[in-house]
Amino acid sequence: MMDNDTRKDIPTLQWFPGHMKKAQRLIEENLKLVDVVIELLDARIPASSANPMLAEIIKDKPRMIALNKADLADSRSTKEWLDYFRGQGIMAVAIDSVKGKGMKQLVRAAEELARPKTEKFVSKGAKARAARCMILGIPNVGKSSLINRLAGAVKAKAANQPGVTRAKQWIKIGSNLDLLDTPGILWPKFEDQTVGLKLAFTGAINDDIYDREQVTALLLASLRQNYPERLVERFKFKGEMPTDGLELLEAVGRKRGCLVKGGIVDLEKAQNIVLNEFRAGKLGLVTLDGVPVDMAEQQEEEKNIE
Contact criterion met (CB below 8 Å) for 209 and 15 = yes
Cα separation of 92 and 69, whole Å? 14
The strand pairing partners of 133, in sequence order, are: 36, 179
Alpha carbon distances (Å) from 5 to 8, 69, 125, 243: 5, 30, 64, 12
Sequence-separated (6 or more) residues with CB below 8 Å from residue 265: 249, 250, 253, 254, 258, 259
Contact criterion met (CB below 8 Å) for 209 and 166 = no
Residue 68 CB neighbours (<10 A)? 28
Known binding-site residues for GTP equal 68-71, 140-145, 184
Contact criterion met (CB below 8 Å) for 27 and 134 = yes
Known binding-site residues equal 68-71, 140-145, 184
Cα separation of 92 and 79, whole Å? 10
For residue 284, count CB atoms less than 10 angstroms from its CB and return exposed for 0-12, middle for 13-18, buried for 19 or more: middle
Amino acid at site 193: Q
